[in-house]
Amino acid sequence: MSNFKLHFTVPGDDFTRAGEASGSVKKTLKDLGFNPEIVRKVVIALYEAEINLVIHAGGGEIDVEISPECISMVLTDEGPGIPDVALAMKEGYSTAPDNVRSLGFGAGMGLPNIKKYTDEMKIDSTVGVGTTMYLKVYTA
């Protein structure tokens, strides 16, 4: 199998569409025959990250590269940035407004969930410029 590359633009103004990219990646991985446990890890991490693009960053871009050994994901946005990444990683830490909480997100569990489900996670963020998140899940 040659490497597969997928690209998605995530709109920042439509919460109802958040998750379309992750759903599409899920379908591709299933069709390619990846183990369901691996697929689940990838899509849960990606879904939380996609939701963050929508609720915190006004949308962004997602690039996914699929090889037999590894699924790599890069999420880029030009949102407000994260001033203190270590603090943002803490369970329960959230700056989400109440309207986001009433939608079922904003419990401050997104980044910890992403950490839990991925083998590599790196966040580059500059306040006022944006955030790039690099994620990897190994298949073996």
Ligand X SMILES: Nc1ncnc2c1ncn2[C@@H]1O[C@H](COP(=O)(O)OP(=O)(O)O)[C@@H](O)[C@H]1O
Give the binding-site size for another protein (rule: CB under 8 A).
25
Among 21, 39, 52, 75, binds Mg ion (CB under 5 A): 52
CA–CA distance, 126 with 140 (Å, rounded to integer): 33
CA–CA distance, 125 with 85 (Å, rounded to integer): 8
Which of the stretches 3-11, 24-32, 44-52, 82-90 binds Mg ion when contact is defined by CB under 5 A? 44-52
* Strand bridging mode 120-126 / 4-11: unpaired
Q: Name residues contacting another protein, limited to 64-93 (CB under 8 A).
A: none
Does residue 88 bind ligand X (CB under 6 A)? yes
Query: Could you report how far apart the first and last alpha carbons of the chain are, in Å?
Result: 16
DSSP 8-state assignment for residue 133 = E
Q: Looking at beta carbons, which residue is closest to ligand X? A: 110
Does residue 12 bind Mg ion (CB under 5 A)? no
Residues of this chain that bind Mg ion (CB under 5 A): 52, 110
